Amino acid sequence: MVLRADLIFSNWIFAWVLIYISGLTKFSPKIAVIIAILENIGTALLLKTVNAKTLQAVILYFLLKVIAFAFVINDPIVLQDMIALTVLFLIYVAWVIINGETVIGYYKKIHQSLNNNDNNTPFVNFINNILFTRNKI
């Protein structure tokens, strides 16, 4: 079973970046993107085994965050942005709990999926099914 994308906080951060770029919010996601990049590095370092498809997906996901960072690199980090990140994270935690999960428990599922190479994380599953599977007509 593929894990839900809405229960992964870095996806919320990516959505924030898109909303920021479109001008719908003045709150910069810079600090959030930095944290997301560090989390990706940590996740990559914790992988025990990985197949080529999972590694490529992890690299692509990391590159998306680096591209997102390029849009906010010159933004100063101000208190308002840190408050916005805190509020977003609290809303995310509430969403995870409403959906019968815990943040730590869900991230354990992500790490387990990546370590087992079972393609259950949303992005790895997408890469595996869309980019690496030949479409038969």
Position 113, amino acid? S
More confident residue, 41 or 81: 81
Between CA 78 and CA 100 the distance in angstroms is 34
Between CA 64 and CA 126 the distance in angstroms is 14
Between CA 113 and CA 121 the distance in angstroms is 7
pTM assigned to the model: 0.83
Q: Where are the domains of the chain?
A: 5-131
Among 12, 8, 37, 7, CA closest to 25: 12
Instruction: Label residue 37 by pLDDT band (50, 70, 90).
Output: very high
Residue-wise pLDDT for 77-132, tens only, equals 999 999 999 999 999 999 999 999 999 999 888 888 777 777 677 777 776 677 65
Between CA 1 and CA 44 the distance in angstroms is 22
